[in-house]
Amino acid sequence: MVARTRLKGDYCPSARSLDAIGDWWSLLIVRDAFDGVCRFSDFQKSLGIAKNILTDRLKTLVERGIFETVPVGEGKVRVEYQLTAMGRDLFPVMVALRQFGERHLFTPDEQHSQLVEKQTGLPVRLDIRTQDGRPIDAAETVILKVAED
Amino acid sequence: MVARTRLKGDYCPSARSLDAIGDWWSLLIVRDAFDGVCRFSDFQKSLGIAKNILTDRLKTLVERGIFETVPVGEGKVRVEYQLTAMGRDLFPVMVALRQFGERHLFTPDEQHSQLVEKQTGLPVRLDIRTQDGRPIDAAETVILKVAED
């Protein structure tokens, strides 16, 4: 809770994102949603997460505008959890985490899932670029701080 | 701990990345390192984190190959924490989190730090693209699963 209080007032957008997302579980819920999961029971099955933790994380993700609940089925008694436009903007975070994992956390002969373009089946790329489109790395960048009051 | 055990065997590279990074604190430590922080006391000052938590997270990040310790100063009695090549590959994760925060978590009149190209002072961009360079969004992609044994 100390972390949360502190991050909210942070001038750093990455820190605020971490605060808004919540925790690792929340990010895995978002990952599953990008993968088409939308029902409580399917999130639970996919993540092997306790019901009370899943309930809590989904509630928080809805409150923060990352998910919305959509009534479905006969009499609309069931709800599905769908990413909002804001939630879908977490896509690059998921792709960046995936790219890091693919590069460093699998042995060459070990299988892993792949994110591909639907139409071609080819892997997608993530690039950091300058405004005029040149790829750059961290060493060529700097963080401009906001002056504290 | 349940989460950690489970994620290690996951075929999903994003889940493994989350497992390797550790937790939010660890990601904020990585953020500070990209920002030039390398001393224990400076991480502590920047993050307002308890010494024992910082010690633990830095130890884990070194064990996982994200940081390395470099002896410095007279008699090399002090160490600095520097990102390894693997650690520097977390740059896109930081940029993606920052981009999400900039877009959704600040009011228009609220100041925030900015990641810019050193040479020009212009903000950097993060794009998800197809192999032939066309920008795509999540809806045009799909995750190819590995068949479970």
According to the model, what pLDDT value does residue B7 have?
54
> Is residue B33 less than 8 Å (CB to CB) from chain A?
no
Helix or strand holding residue A69 (H, E): strand A67-72
Chain B contact for A33 (CB, 8 A cutoff): no
Whether residue A39 is predicted with pLDDT greater than 70 in this model: the reply is: yes
Average pLDDT, chain A: 88
Q: ipTM of this predicted complex?
A: 0.88
- Kindly give, in sequence order, each residue whose CB lies less than 8 Å from that of residue B10, ignoring residues fewer than 6 positions away: B16, B19
Residue position matching structure tokens 């994110």: A115
Contacts with B63 from chain A: Cβ below 8 Å? none
| CB-based contact, B103 to chain A, within 8 Å | yes
Q: What is the pLDDT of residues B101-138, one digit of tens each?
A: 999 999 888 888 889 999 999 999 999 999 998 999 88
* Whole-number pLDDT of residue A147: 65
What residues of chain A, 38 to 77, have a C-beta less than 8 Å from chain B? Answer: 48, 65
Tell if the CB–CB gap between A14 and B94 is shorter than 8 Å: yes
Tell me the per-residue pLDDT of B37-68, one tens digit each, with 9 for 90 and over.
999 999 999 999 899 999 999 999 999 999 99
Q: Which helix (H) or strand (E) holds A82?
A: strand A78-83
Distance separating alpha carbons of residues B101 and B114, to the nearest angstrom: 11
Distance CA B58, CA A111 (A): 30
Higher pLDDT, residue A148 or B93: B93
Q: What is the pLDDT at residue B55?
A: 96
Mean pLDDT computed over A85-103: 93
Q: Is the pLDDT of residue B17 over 80?
A: yes
Q: What is the C-alpha separation between A131 and A146, in angstroms, rounded?
A: 21
